[in-house]
Amino acid sequence: MNDSGQIDQATQTTLAASAEHSNPRLVYDLRGNEGSSDAYYAESKAIADALVDRIEQCAGVVLDDYGRFVRESLLEAPRSRGEFAIELLTLGMALKRYESASVETPRWVVALAQCLLWVRRRSQILKSMADATRAVIAKLFLMPAIGSQPTPSGSAVERLASVIAWLKATGEYEQEVLRLSNWVKYLGTLGTYDAAECMNSASELFERFEREAAERLGPYTQGVGVFLKGEYTRRGCREDSLFCGRAAAEYHLNMIAAEVMNRGLRASFERTGRRVVLVPACMRGAKVAHCRAHIDSVDTTCTACDPQCTVNRITRRMRGTGAEVYLVPHSSGFSRWLDRWEREPGVGVTAVACMLNILPGGYEMSARGIASQCVPLDYPGCRKHWDRVGIPTAVNEARLVQIVGTPTRG
């Protein structure tokens, strides 16, 4: 690749060879059978258009009222209407997927899991013990009823509060918990009937989305079922069991959330005068063990030690947009990165992430007031979660360049 951002012939050959066919070990693959994720992006845009229109028709009044509540009662910064729509869909997903588990899990288990989560986040010495115990608790108590048909009992506020407590205990839905907690407060301002109707509307919207997304986005997530029935069942008790054990519907929700939230955040992103791209460490190539990336506090930057490394190629290509590229070693380090950019409002942050991290990452950046965009990896492959050996991941680089754009000057 030359300095102008043009992909040279050797790189084109490498990319074509790697995309020639889908790897059967991949949990999801946005390239489908085309060797490129261009078709996926066209499809996700069309689905997002239809979904936003449907939510407006079915729950526009709810979004109006909730938006006022967020601004006037919670005193939060304005968010896009599309973001509120995704929150409502997230509420429906939480009820459909996890309400039964929240009902079946004993309260003492939920409390213990939350306590262990507190320990792991504050003590490196006890972290391994806490994770091992949480893994056993998840397998024995938290997971068995996931996805089963719930038997609702109690008021809408009580039901949602129970689901939130369960989600919080898992440690996997931190940003979703924050958003759903706002919805509990909102439901508490409504009458019993109106609160129940709001919950029913969220459930119905998600159920319809789940059916339609399975048909249209299912070809990109065929590997989810294969993974859950194969590699996942052989793992036993692991700290990441809840994260890795998610159904295809949650991948689909993240796919559409990326499109919808990018739209709502686009205007503020385009006003920024400096652009930063965050890429996951799993994008490094086969020579990752010998990677000589430069580390300065939380800043990890490519030193071009491997000509075939995807991070190297993206770093060079981003020069044409004026953007800086930084490696994020793992999603757990994402929040530390955001501390920095939250203090620099003139910076536009584009985060490349695994599909299951797209929605929480988008929520967090929006909540912190960071002008941001998200681009999902074309497929996952990190050794920590998805593959024993590790598969160097990739992103649609043309899409990334389009999203990052060129910052305003002056």
pLDDT in tens, 113-149: 999 999 998 888 999 999 999 999 999 999 999 988 8
Question: Tens digit of pLDDT for each residue in 62-72?
Answer: 999 999 999 99
349-388 pLDDT, tens digit each: 999 999 999 999 999 999 888 999 999 999 998 888 888 8
pLDDT band at 304 (very low <50, low <70, confident <90, very high): confident
Residue 2 has pLDDT above 90, yes or no: no
- Whole-number pLDDT of residue 131: 93
Cβ atoms of residues 405 and 348 within 8 Å: no
Three-class SS state of 98? helix
SS3 state at 240: coil
User: Which residues are 327's β-sheet partners?
Assistant: 279
β-pair partners for 299: 296
CB 358 within 8 A of CB 310: no
For 86, phi and psi rounded to 5 degrees? -65, -35
Say what percent of the chain tops pLDDT 90.
66
The pTM assigned to this predicted structure is 0.90
Residues in the chain: 410
For helices 156-170 and 81-104, the axis angle rounded to 10 degrees is 80
Q: For position 208, what pLDDT does the model report?
A: 96
Helices (H), 34-155: 38-72, 81-104, 107-122, 127-137
Render pLDDT for 260-285 as a digit per residue (tens, 0 to 9): 999 999 999 999 999 999 999 888 86
Q: Please indicate whether residue 3 or residue 335 has the higher confidence score (pLDDT).
A: 335
pLDDT of residue 302: 84
Average pLDDT of the chain is 88
Smallest CA-to-CA distance from 176 within 250, 66, 71 is with: 250
For 6-57, the pLDDT digits (tens) are 444 444 443 343 444 456 679 999 998 778 999 999 999 999 999 999 999 9
What residue has token string 């999603």?
Answer: 331
Residue 55, classed as helix, strand or coil, is helix
Q: Residue 405 has what pLDDT?
A: 87
The three-state DSSP-derived secondary structure of 323-352 is CEEEEECCHHHHHHHHHHHHCCCCEEEEEE
Residue with tokens 């599309």: 82
Return the pLDDT at 24: 63
Q: How many CB atoms lie within 10 A of CB 224?
A: 22
Percent of the chain topping pLDDT 70: 92
Q: What is the pLDDT of residue 32?
A: 82
Check: CB of residue 199 under 8 Å from CB of residue 159: yes
d(CA 214, CA 252): 8
Instruction: Note the pLDDT tens digit of each residue in 155-189.
Output: 999 999 999 999 999 999 999 999 999 999 999 99
In a 13 Å sphere around the CA of 391, the CA atoms on its Cβ side amount to 20
The residues facing 371 across adjacent strands are 348
How many alpha carbons lie under 13 Å from residue 132 in its C-beta half-sphere? 5
Domains observed in the chain: 9-14+24-28+265-404 (3.40.50), 39-250 (no CATH)
275 in helix, strand or coil? strand
List all residues 6 or more positions away from 13 whose beta carbon is below 8 Å from its beta carbon. none
Q: What are phi and psi of 257, to 5 degrees?
A: -60, -40
**Which residue from 335, 389, 129 is spatially nearest to 239, judged by alpha carbons?**
129
